[in-house]
Structure 1
């Protein structure tokens, strides 16, 4: 470091969810002294307890990062399930596409893991790391950016200094607000209903997704034979589904998936989340950076939200820990991260909006186009393999 007086921390990470915890662990592994501030630390994981309603499809790129951090074994030991195939089809037409891991000579297409399992395994790793100080429960209250460092004030009254402060504090990021970064947000007029269900037929270690005119329905395979469902539906339909009794909801689910897994025999409690797409106007300011939902949110229909956040974290570490970088908070350094991620994230967000529009339309020409596109992608092997590699995170950005 070239500074006469280096602050107590290289980096302060605000938010210890999945992405913030992964970022803190990667920074610490790269030699940064890190403070992690989190309002609600994760509790102990009960392997005999019920599945969390929030799960993520963790791709190969994220898996490799977790392996390098020594956190992957912990996730596998808690609860995770690899899936071998994915099948997508259109309720309004004949289009379908199926991806299989064996087509790429891969062991699986990814793992379905509860969000709290990812977070817990990363925290177990962080709690052992002498380069990390966990400050929890505590809340960010103030931000003061100076020329040589940034200072934050916490609800506890504690003040921390660092070269860089990173917001991993979610879609309503307090750091983003304090840094004066505006966000462009649009409400999609849809809600995602989530639940855990048991089906009459086995899920075959396959992720199933059917596009309905009111929004996509996904069944994601879990290790105990059940499925985690995500039903993204227009507001009116979502409220209708939310208010059904369990028996009627199970019937609607089976019908929604066209009985591909037979009857739905039982469901857990349900939760609903409003769906928004958002992009921060800037991912960086001098001494400030945003990652994950603090920087962007997208429609969940491709299940890529968490993976995009892990890619953000990895790209930020690559930028601030690059050879020759002496000040992680310098704007020219942080702009490398912004250039690496903002364009990609914007393309992903717009693509998901395009898919949603294309598959939400009942106009016959669009239905025909959808069917043609899905069937073409299914039959053209190089295109199909390209799509699979992208979903696995095995594109040009290898970790």
Structure 2
């Protein structure tokens, strides 16, 4: 049996960033993953909007400086449109920050994290291998891998995604609320320059976002009912491009498809308990959120940051897998997670509501907020600094 101080199951963005954040500690870490990340050909359709707070986190753990800047697009402005004339705009300049965030590909980050992990002295990588069984003992978590290897540590972290095997094995409950929607993603070459502006439209058929990519390119996330998502994905390429251009008011002109559309189901997932004796959850294993806010991976990075800070500050005599110790992590992360889940879910419900007068009210709210710089900039600063 191989002994470690920490076992991380899941080498995705949240799990790998946690490992990297602990590179200068005394902790001996095992990172278990069943498949190493690979770069996709061309441009990855799965992209993320990374907040300034998390850019700082990725800089602190040594990953940001190694990313290819030619594949990163800063967001300098954002335009949000309601479904009946409402409008709300944000500007980095007006908010007093260099940028509102940065758009980059999931695989770009994943591959860089993996390369950094391979160079980390206090980290042992177990890949490709599957986790087969966990035993939570009074003093350790024992993990059996598919090749028969046994790993033991005072603390095991589940970073293995929304359908977390670790969470299920530990008997921690996840409350899922399906939205009956899918997120349709694709990348395009654009006729008109985006000028580093992100756009979002609340429409009768869902929420459409245009997100800038480097050069004359952009990515979309269209959160829409299942049947409409399936219809979009079945369209011939030229017709799909036309539908996306029309839905965005032809803001960026004609579109040319760079990656075929793909769709993934959307659901709200709440996990009442994200810790147990010898166990902590991070990233999508700990929460699920609607993509209209773009904050899913930002929450995951802040999970990793908070847990890494707690573990780094632990004294050698402290038991890092003890429940009272782990409850500090749960308390730190609960408020922010619940707030973002509730805010995005409420916003989605508000723009799906069909009660008389609701359309006018919600669009009026956007427009009024846009005319109140103090409130608008306060909202922007909270989103940038808090997430």
User: TM-score under structure 2 normalisation?
Assistant: 0.96
- 1:226 aligned to 200, 203, 217, which one? 217
Tell whether 2:261 aligns with 1:266.
no
Where does 1:193-272 land on structure 2 (aligned, <5 Å)? 193-272=184-263
Aligned-pair distance for 1:361? 2.9
Aligned-pair distance for 1:284? 0.3
Bigger mean CA deviation after superposition, 371-380 or 166-175 = 371-380
**Secondary structure in 1 matching 2:182:** strand
* Contact residue 12 and residue 159 of structure 2 kept, 8 A: yes
Q: Structure 2: state its 5+ residue gaps.
A: none
* Contact residue 25 and residue 125 of structure 1 kept, 8 A: yes
Tell whether 2:155 aligns with 1:164.
yes
User: For residues 42 and 199 of structure 2, what CA distance do their matches in structure 1 show?
Assistant: 22
- 1:141 aligned to 126, 132, 144, which one? 132
* Contact residue 71 and residue 213 of structure 2 kept, 8 A: no
Residue in 2 that maps onto 1:185: 176
Aligned-pair distance for 1:321? 2.8
User: For residues 283 and 195 of structure 1, what CA distance do their matches in structure 2 show?
Assistant: 33
**Secondary structure in 1 matching 2:23:** helix
Aligned-pair distance for 1:343? 3.0
**Secondary structure in 2 matching 1:188:** strand
Closer, same or farther: CA 223–177 of 1 in aligned 2, 3 Å: same
Aligned-pair distance for 1:314? 1.0
User: For residues 29 and 222 of structure 1, what CA distance do their matches in structure 2 show?
Assistant: 34
**Secondary structure in 2 matching 1:277:** strand
Give CA deviations for 1:329-365 in whole Å, capped at 9, x if unaligned: 1111110111111232122112211111111234451
User: For residues 76 and 108 of structure 1, what CA distance do their matches in structure 2 show?
Assistant: 18
Residue in 2 that maps onto 1:37: 32
Aligned-pair distance for 1:190? 0.2
Where does 1:124-135 land on structure 2 (aligned, <5 Å)? 124-135=115-126
* Contact residue 161 and residue 285 of structure 2 kept, 8 A: yes
Q: 4+ residue stretches of structure 1 with deviation over 6 A?
A: none
- 1:293 aligned to 266, 284, 299, which one? 284
Aligned-pair distance for 1:385? 1.4
Tell whether 2:325 aligns with 1:330.
no
Residue in 2 that maps onto 1:355: 347
* Contact residue 83 and residue 221 of structure 1 kept, 8 A: yes
User: TM-score under structure 1 normalisation?
Assistant: 0.93
Bigger mean CA deviation after superposition, 69-78 or 237-246 = 69-78
User: For residues 41 and 367 of structure 1, what CA distance do their matches in structure 2 show?
Assistant: 47
Give CA deviations for 1:212-261 in whole Å, capped at 9, x if unaligned: 11210011100132101111101121112111111111111011111111
Count of matched residue positions in the alignment of Structure 1 and Structure 2 = 386
User: For residues 364 and 108 of structure 1, what CA distance do their matches in structure 2 show?
Assistant: 39
* Contact residue 321 and residue 328 of structure 1 kept, 8 A: no
Residue in 1 that maps onto 2:63: 71
Q: Structure 1: state its 5+ residue gaps.
A: 1-6
* Contact residue 192 and residue 216 of structure 2 kept, 8 A: no
Closer, same or farther: CA 254–207 of 1 in aligned 2, 3 Å: same
Tell whether 2:15 aligns with 1:24.
no
Residue in 2 that maps onto 1:104: 95
User: For residues 287 and 370 of structure 2, what CA distance do their matches in structure 1 show?
Assistant: 30
Tell whether 2:7 aligns with 1:15.
no
Aligned-pair distance for 1:163? 1.0
User: For residues 137 and 209 of structure 2, what CA distance do their matches in structure 1 show?
Assistant: 47
Residue in 2 that maps onto 1:51: 43
Aligned-pair distance for 1:138? 0.9
**Secondary structure in 1 matching 2:161:** coil
**Secondary structure in 1 matching 2:338:** helix
Closer, same or farther: CA 288–227 of 1 in aligned 2, 3 Å: same
User: For residues 31 and 101 of structure 1, what CA distance do their matches in structure 2 show?
Assistant: 39
Give CA deviations for 1:76-105 in whole Å, capped at 9, x if unaligned: 347211121111101x21211111111122
Aligned-pair distance for 1:33? 1.3
Residue in 1 that maps onto 2:310: 319
Tell whether 2:116 aligns with 1:116.
no
